[in-house]
């Protein structure tokens, strides 16, 4: 059974509160766990340079410490199976029954010892992709006496994953080791994406240097308000900003999608994300005191893989398929794309075949042409 709307709304609000303040992620993860009355939740991320990290809700701190220090990372049967089968990559929600049998749960040390010792039962996971170079997993942990995730609950988990993906567009950059050591104001000034804070009337109360550098034919500041795109695109973004500022529950619960801004020039293409800011925000920095929405403007360059979320939404792919399509479509060989994504070359080629079939092409060059036409034009 899907969680009550009130708990789901509280979790989504907590997710966006953590966007500009990564220290709030443990609380947000706790709110997500409360959605399903679970024991806790955690985020695991891996960059394409091999670095990784974990954020956990408060109730899982002890279990996570035991997991890392007790050597269970090498004996986690479920994680090994999920990696082998591509679940950590493809963006489809999955749960215990997809990976292990009841007999294995009863006899395998990871389940019979580690999980039993911490009172943990079934789990549910979904991969999210906040950045072409970063993979992130949301892992939900149930109590020992709870049932496995139902299909309806997995569908809700997938919806929550979309909101986490959007929030992490900012958070994952602020979690950078160097930026984590400085104040939020300076960190936002250093991140390489455009960040604009809007007040309740839609006026810009904060913009960072990266956002100011994006000023041009498709992004302008006019009478303290952002003007992004032209024609139908501008109307779509203006309407989306208005809905975000109204903070209506139904709007928050909707499936979030990026907005792509086609440029009249040859070099600048923007992907725009809107993040609501909770009224009860805990941020102390003065420039965010009156902020009620954050606009992220991310420049898409021709010599970089396309944003997987945009590829997913434009071509109707899964997240995993979109990540492969974006990398291979940018000119990377399947083997190199596989290495960056932490999957086997065989898996990458299998996924690429599905992409070709879905979008109606048969070669890497044709995929690149299609992406250039629909996503990078």
Whole-number Å distance between alpha carbons of 164 and 161: 5
Which pair of structure tokens corresponds to residue 204? 């810009």
pTM to 2 decimals? 0.88
Show pLDDT as tens, one digit a residue, over the chain (377 residues).
667 888 999 999 999 989 988 889 999 999 999 999 999 999 998 877 777 789 999 999 999 999 999 999 889 999 999 888 888 777 889 999 999 999 999 999 999 999 999 999 999 999 887 777 788 899 999 999 999 999 999 999 999 999 999 999 899 888 875 666 677 778 888 888 999 999 989 999 989 999 999 888 788 989 889 999 888 888 999 999 998 888 777 777 777 888 888 765 555 678 899 998 866 545 544 445 678 899 999 887 766 778 888 888 888 888 889 989 988 988 889 999 888 887 889 989 999 999 999 999 999 989 988 887 776 55
Residues β-bridged to residue 228: 219
Whole-number Å distance between alpha carbons of 234 and 216: 14
How would you list the strands of the sheet with 293-299, edge to edge?
A: 204-207, 194-198, 293-299, 270-276, 259-261
CB 110 within 8 A of CB 153: no
Which pair of structure tokens corresponds to residue 90? 């493809």
Whole-number Å distance between alpha carbons of 4 and 277: 22
Q: List, as one string, the DSSP characters of 224-289.
A: TEEEESSHHHHHHHHHHHHHHHHT-HHHHHS----EEE--SSSS--EEEEEEE--TT-----GGGT
């Amino acid at each position: 059974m899907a969680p009550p709307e009130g708990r789901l709304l509280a979790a989504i609000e907590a997710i966006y509160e953590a966007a500009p303040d990564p220290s709030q992620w443990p609380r947000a993860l706790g709110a997500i766990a409360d959605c399903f009355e679970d024991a806790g939740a955690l985020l695991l991320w891996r960059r394409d340079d091999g670095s990784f990290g974990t954020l956990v809700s408060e109730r899982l701190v002890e279990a996570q410490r035991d997991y890392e220090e007790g050597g269970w990372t090498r004996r986690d049967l479920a994680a090994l199976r999920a990696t082998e089968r591509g679940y950590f990559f493809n963006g489809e929600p999955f749960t215990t029954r997809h990976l292990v049998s009841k007999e294995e749960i009863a006899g395998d040390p990871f389940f019979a010892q580690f999980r039993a010792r911490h009172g943990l039962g079934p789990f549910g996971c979904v991969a999210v992709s906040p950045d072409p170079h970063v993979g992130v997993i949301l892992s939900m942990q149930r109590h020992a006496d709870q049932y496995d995730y139902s299909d309806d609950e997995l569908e809700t988990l997938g919806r929550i994953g979309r909101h986490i993906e959007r929030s992490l567009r900012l958070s994952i950059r602020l979690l950078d080791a160097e930026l984590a050591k400085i104040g939020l104001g300076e960190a936002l000034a250093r991140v390489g994406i455009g960040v604009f804070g809007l007040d309740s009337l839609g006026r810009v109360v904060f913009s960072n240097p990266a956002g100011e550098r994006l000023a041009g034919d498709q992004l302008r500041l006019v009478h303290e308000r952002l003007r992004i795109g032209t024609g139908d695109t501008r109307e779509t973004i203006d309407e989306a900003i208005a809905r975000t500022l109204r903070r209506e529950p139904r709007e928050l619960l909707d499936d979030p999608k990026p907005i792509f801004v086609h440029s009249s020039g040859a070099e600048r293409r923007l992907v725009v994300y809107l993040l609501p800011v909770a009224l009860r925000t805990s941020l102390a920095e003065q420039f965010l005191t009156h902020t009620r929405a954050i606009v992220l403007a991310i420049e898409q360059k021709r010599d970089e893989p396309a944003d997987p979320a945009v590829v997913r939404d434009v071509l109707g792919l899964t997240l995993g398929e979109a990540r492969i399509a974006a990398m291979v479509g940018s000119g990377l060989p399947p083997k190199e794309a596989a290495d960056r994504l932490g999957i086997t070359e065989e898996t990458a080629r299998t996924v690429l075949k599905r992409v070709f079939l879905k979008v109606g092409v048969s070669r890497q060059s044709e995929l690149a042409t299609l992406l250039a036409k629909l996503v990078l034009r």
